[in-house]
Amino acid sequence: MRTTLIAKLVVLLLAAIALVYGISLVMQINPTPVNGQGAPKTLQASTPNVVVQTPSPAAQVPQIAPMVAPQSNNVDSVEMLVNNAVQSLEEGDGTRSLLQMRLAIDAAKSQNMSPAQLDALNNMLMRIEYCEHGAASVLTWLDSPEAALVTDDRLSPVSLDRSRLKIEALLALGKLQESWDESKLLLDCFAAPGAAQVREPLALEQAIRIAGTAGATDQIPDLEKRLRAAVEAGITLKTLQDPRLPLATLGTLAKARGDCRSAIKLYDQALEGFDTNRWLREKRVAPWRMQVLVLVAMDRIDCLRNIGEIERSKGNASVLAADVATAFGDTDPIALQAADLRDQILYTPLSP
């Protein structure tokens, strides 16, 4: 009995020690008296510590971000809008292309971009207007406040591009005399050597086409001489941005003199690499250029026939007719003209 009693006392003593040790641990963690309100006070004290610490890193982000990225983001947005405008135009959605380009111009104005940069964007807008609304829209646009941003320097790239597009619009509307007068003014800009002369071939080929249409044939020999020299220099120096139309014009002049072999070589250079997709792109982006190039392709076929290469002309006529019909549709006037040429060569070939 005595042993049992001693054992019970030992157990009670150990339990008392454990209780005291547990209370002391609690008091060290939270000195608040342990009562009915102690636990809620502990929870309320710890929760704000988490809430206050969590937003502090996020609060620093707005202070840093405006200092790092706004300018580059704005520039990227202008470039993105311009790229979207070009892509929409190539996909045949002129309305969306106009919207994207106008948004790009508004964004550029808000960033205080230079007048030259704004002019370049406005020139792109004018080209889209031409594709979407026709030649008359270009002349209307040129009278608008937007077009007044053009620099006074007629040799600046912006001024040259704008003058050329105005001439194309006048020609498309049948205003031959006005087109020719504007062309002579543009050509006068190239009288003195300068950086703008890299664009002279494009102005010259345009003037030759208009001179021929307007009946100013006495002007053509001198223009052709200048064009040949400008094209040769541009190809040698690699400054000729788009040689297709100047080469095509030189080929047409050679054909008019009866030199079909030289004309074919020039036509080959002008039409190098064209396929259905490129025909379609030309129609969407620059319909006047597409018409010239398709007619040049037909002239090339006619030249092949004239020098006796009948089978080669047949194959070329069939391929051209199929490509143009696929790109523009069977009922397109240019496609119908290409089909007529194909049928003429296939079924009623002429002797050279």
Q: Identify the band that residue 154 occupies on the pLDDT scale cut at 50, 70 and 90.
A: low
- 351 contacts: CB under 8 Å, gap ≥ 6: none
- Is residue 30 scored above 80 in pLDDT? no
127-133: which pairs have CB atoms within 8 A and are 24 or more residues apart?
A: 127/165, 127/285, 127/286, 128/85, 128/89, 128/94, 128/97, 128/98, 128/101, 129/98, 130/165, 130/168, 130/169, 131/89, 131/94, 131/284, 131/285, 131/286, 131/287, 132/94, 132/95, 132/97, 132/98
Mean pLDDT of the chain: 76
pLDDT at 300: 95
Domain residue extents for the chain: 74-150, 152-241, 258-352
pLDDT at 63: 37
Q: Identify the band that residue 74 occupies on the pLDDT scale cut at 50, 70 and 90.
A: low
pLDDT at 302: 94
- Is residue 16 scored above 60 in pLDDT? no
Question: Exposed (0-12), middle (13-18) or buried (19+): which is 298, by Cβ within 10 Å?
Answer: buried
Q: Which of 335, 280, 334 is nearest to 131 (CA)?
A: 280
Whether 161 and 206 have beta carbons less than 8 Å apart is answered as no
Percent of the chain predicted with pLDDT > 70: 72
Lowest-confidence region among 9-13, 92-96, 133-137: 9-13
According to the per-residue pLDDT averaged within each range, which of 45-59, 141-155, 226-240 is highest? 226-240
Percent of the chain predicted with pLDDT > 90: 22
pLDDT at 36: 42
Which one is predicted more confidently, 18 or 238?
Answer: 238
Q: Identify the band that residue 308 occupies on the pLDDT scale cut at 50, 70 and 90.
A: very high
pLDDT at 237: 79
Which one is predicted more confidently, 31 or 310?
Answer: 310
Which one is predicted more confidently, 324 or 165?
Answer: 324
pLDDT at 82: 87
Q: Which of 241, 246, 234, 330 is nearest to 293 (CA)?
A: 246
pLDDT at 130: 80
Q: What digits encode the pLDDT tens for the residues 258-302? A: 999 999 999 999 998 888 888 888 877 777 788 889 999 999 999
Concatenate the DSSP letters of all residues of 239-284 into one string. --S--HHHHHHHHHHHHHTT-HHHHHHHHHHHTTT--HHHHHHHHH
Q: What digits encode the pLDDT tens for the residues 333-345? A: 999 999 999 999 9
With tokens 């050679």, the residue in question is 254
Q: d(Cα 267, Cα 229) in Å, to the nearest integer?
A: 18
**Mean of the pLDDT values across residues 64-81?**
58
Six token digits for residue 231? 């094209």
- Is residue 8 scored above 60 in pLDDT? no
Q: d(Cα 261, Cα 259) in Å, to the nearest integer?
A: 6
Whether 328 and 335 have beta carbons less than 8 Å apart is answered as yes
- Is residue 49 scored above 50 in pLDDT? no
- Is residue 66 scored above 60 in pLDDT? no
Six token digits for residue 161? 């591009």
Six token digits for residue 45? 């004290």
Q: Identify the band that residue 78 occupies on the pLDDT scale cut at 50, 70 and 90.
A: confident
